[in-house]
Amino acid sequence: MRDIDETKQPLLEHLIELRRRLLWSLATLVLFFFICFHFAQNIFAVLVQPLLKAGQGRLIYTDVFEAFFVQVKVALFAALMLSFPMIAIQLWRFVAPGLYAKEKRAFLPFLLATPVFFAAGACFAYFLAVPWALHFLLSYQGNVGGIQQEALPGVGNYLNFITHFLFGFGAAFLLPILLMILERAGIVTRQQLARSRRYAIVAAAAVAGVLTPPDAVSMMMLMVPLYGLYEFAILAIRITHWRAARKAARSGSVVAVPQTEEGPEAPPGGGRVGGSGPI
């Protein structure tokens, strides 16, 4: 069995293959769009639940076409979510023939984990971050200088608000995957990530400040999980190296164990990788 497909193809055939993969992805997106457009009101009813639980029972629209375009945006938003697996499959089928078997085994888990982490971030935003943000933002209603101040959010503005949160938190939760890919590519090392914790805290605070309302609790709700994911990536990289060293030791081959300032990297829990004698 060959480690890589050595068949050489001219540039035109690669472009034809790319067009075929793009057409499959586009066709899937269009199909899901029409299906989701049929259920757009039901999907939007799910998206407005955090607003309803925050005590706001009205949405308005001032443009004649606004309500229609909101349904179009909702359908496109849902279609992108549902069609991502097919888009990822088409991307994998286009890229996989040019990868070695070892590279395929290294890249495939990241591709499979991407929707899981994105969905986890979106769920965190929907169930925790968005309700708290709405509770904070809607608290400005009431009597102000003798004038009754009332929130009347528009459907378009609310849709932009919640999709901004869902996409932002979903993308932020992809941080461990990004760091592990960079480490696999040799761009960063675990030691560099460990030494950069203070910068990671500052970066997490900056991202939280952009994606959340300007109150301390909302910022902490994103900053703490984001930094936790940074530490999770460091731990996952360390465990990956430790498992690779154990596997190589059992097979009797030599591996390069990542070095630290104190010497070779120890496995999690202070264990020792066996097999130190000459081969």
Contacts of 36 by beta carbon, 8 Å cutoff, 6+ apart: 43, 74, 75, 76, 78, 79, 82
Structure confidence at residue 258 (pLDDT): 53
Distances (CA, A) of 188 to 181, 193, 203, 206: 9, 7, 17, 21
Tokens 């300032």 locate to 261
Q: Taking a C-beta distance cutoff of 8 angstroms, is the pair 69, 156 a contact?
A: yes
Structure confidence at residue 268 (pLDDT): 52
Instruction: Give the pair of three-digit tokens for residue 50.
Output: 């955090």
Tokens 């990004």 locate to 178
Q: Is 261 helix (H, G, I), strand (E, B) or coil?
A: coil
Structure confidence at residue 276 (pLDDT): 42
Structure confidence at residue 272 (pLDDT): 44
Structure confidence at residue 194 (pLDDT): 92
C-alpha span between 103 and 3 (Å, rounded)? 10
Structure confidence at residue 30 (pLDDT): 97
Q: Taking a C-beta distance cutoff of 8 angstroms, is the pair 118, 40 a contact?
A: no
What torsion do the CA atoms of 204, 206, 209, 215 make, to the nearest 10 degrees?
70
Q: Taking a C-beta distance cutoff of 8 angstroms, is the pair 96, 137 a contact?
A: no
Structure confidence at residue 156 (pLDDT): 93
Could you report the per-residue pLDDT of 145-165, keeping only the tens digit for each? 888 888 889 999 999 999 988
Structure confidence at residue 259 (pLDDT): 52
Q: Is 158 helix (H, G, I), strand (E, B) or coil?
A: helix
C-alpha span between 206 and 215 (Å, rounded)? 13
- pLDDT tens string, the chain, 279 residues long: the values are 455 455 556 778 888 999 999 999 999 999 999 999 999 999 999 999 999 998 888 999 988 999 999 999 999 999 999 998 899 889 888 888 877 787 787 788 888 888 999 999 999 999 998 998 898 888 888 888 888 888 889 999 999 999 988 988 998 899 999 999 888 888 899 999 999 999 999 999 998 888 777 777 778 888 999 999 999 999 999 998 898 888 888 876 544 545 554 445 555 544 444 444 443
What torsion do the CA atoms of 52, 54, 60, 65 make, to the nearest 10 degrees?
-70
Ramachandran sector of residue 263 (left: φ over 0; alpha: ψ -120 to 50; beta: rest): left
C-alpha span between 45 and 49 (Å, rounded)? 7
* pTM of the shown model: 0.78
Could you report the per-residue pLDDT of 87-146, keeping only the tens digit for each? 988 988 888 887 778 778 778 888 888 899 999 999 999 999 899 889 888 888 888 888
C-alpha span between 131 and 208 (Å, rounded)? 16
